[in-house]
Amino acid sequence: MKKTAALLLLVSAILFLFYTSVSQALNFSNAYLRLDRTKANTALSGLVCAKPSSAGAGTEAKVAVTFPSDFTISDTASNWTTSTSNLPSGTTAWPGIGSTASSVSSQTVTFSSSDLTSGSSTYCFSFTAASSTTGSTGQKTGSIETKTSGDSVIDEREFALTIVSNDQVTVSGTVPADPADFENELTILTTGTTFPQDTELDFRITYGSNLSYATSLTIVAEWSLGTISGESTPTVDILDYVSGSATDAYGSTSPVIDTVNRTITWEISSFPANTTGETVDFTLATNDSYTSSPTVEFTVSSHLEPPGATTTDSEVTRNYQYDSSAAPTSTPGPTSELRLRTSY
């Protein structure tokens, strides 16, 4: 009986450790790999950037980059050298990145790393790979992972690349995009300035890029808490996202809805050069969490996040006012009758 109990305890501990290891893996808030040259079968070098899911996601000790399956990858670790000079504006040098790779296994190249202590920073390093080349033309995918010293995955994300036969324009990972090169305009499609509870408000973001090369691009829509008239601090959670209302962005990119932080995010892995006038739509609805008479001001905004830059917010500000006449009224319950029966 004691042996059986001990065995069950051992199995439970193993399962707990396995579950902890598996459940530890999260998605980076943002991550990408940008090549210096996107030409087929050419020398391999580029830039790796990642934003942790949170500062406390785990203690990073390694970063592993898995390249597309048809890339030629040198299995000599010393052929993979790194640098943290001339990184994109607004990014942070990847702490503790090894000057050379620590190991190479098939298509995966692993570098040593220190702990990524900020959940709001985008960490970057550039790499050069001797005796390594890109593959054939076409769409490619790979992945970036951070790991603990025990090889448990902390954060991970897949990246996409487009390899072409002749890259006329060489894109350097050391020069961030200019926010002025991007189109970002938020409009409200619902007429009016002040709305009662239970009103659906339709919004549209028109976005695009005037760059002469393709780039990854993130679209962000967000809405504020409401500020009661006469007060200076927003306190009222007056808007709700209408489930299923956000449309896909370019390349069938699905929206990611975060109702806790009141944001909608579309992360486009490769947005084409000189493309403007693209749109995404979404709907928010006023609720009745505030039932007093003063108006409540709220703001909905959008911005774009190309690599290493952020565009200026485009904003729409409107008002909410509770309509007491539209509030539901209680329905009387069934009544009982007292009937007197007279006997004769």
Domains and CATH numbers, the chain: 24-163 (2.60.40), 179-325 (2.60.40.740)
Q: Of the given ranges (20-29, 233-242, 249-258), which has the lowest mean pLDDT?
A: 20-29
pLDDT at 334: 53
- Phi, psi dihedrals of residue 313, rounded to the nearest 5°: -65, 140
d(CA 146, CA 53): 11
- Predicted confidence band of residue 342 (pLDDT cuts 50, 70, 90): very low
Q: Look at residue 333 and tell me whether its pLDDT is greater than 60.
A: no
Total residue length of the chain: 344
pLDDT at 299: 97
- What lies within 8 Å, CB to CB, of 31 at 6+ separation is 49, 50, 51, 144, 155, 157, 159
For the segment 264-268, the average pLDDT, to the nearest whole number, is 97
Q: Which residues pair with 164 in a beta bridge?
A: 39
Q: Of the given ranges (105-109, 143-147, 308-312), which has the lowest mean pLDDT?
A: 308-312
Q: At residue 235, what is the residue type?
A: T
**pTM above the 0.85 mark?**
no
Q: pLDDT, tens digit, for every residue of 205-225?
A: 999 999 988 999 999 999 999
Q: Of the given ranges (137-141, 230-234, 289-293, 338-342), which has the lowest mean pLDDT?
A: 338-342
Q: pLDDT, tens digit, for every residue of 68-122?
A: 999 999 999 999 999 999 999 889 999 999 999 999 999 999 999 999 999 899 9
For the segment 166-178, the average pLDDT, to the nearest whole number, is 63
- Predicted confidence band of residue 12 (pLDDT cuts 50, 70, 90): low
Question: How crowded is the C-beta side of 156, counted as CA atoms within 13 Å?
Answer: 17
pLDDT at 312: 94
Question: How crowded is the C-beta side of 214, counted as CA atoms within 13 Å?
Answer: 19
- Mean pLDDT computed over every residue of the chain: 88
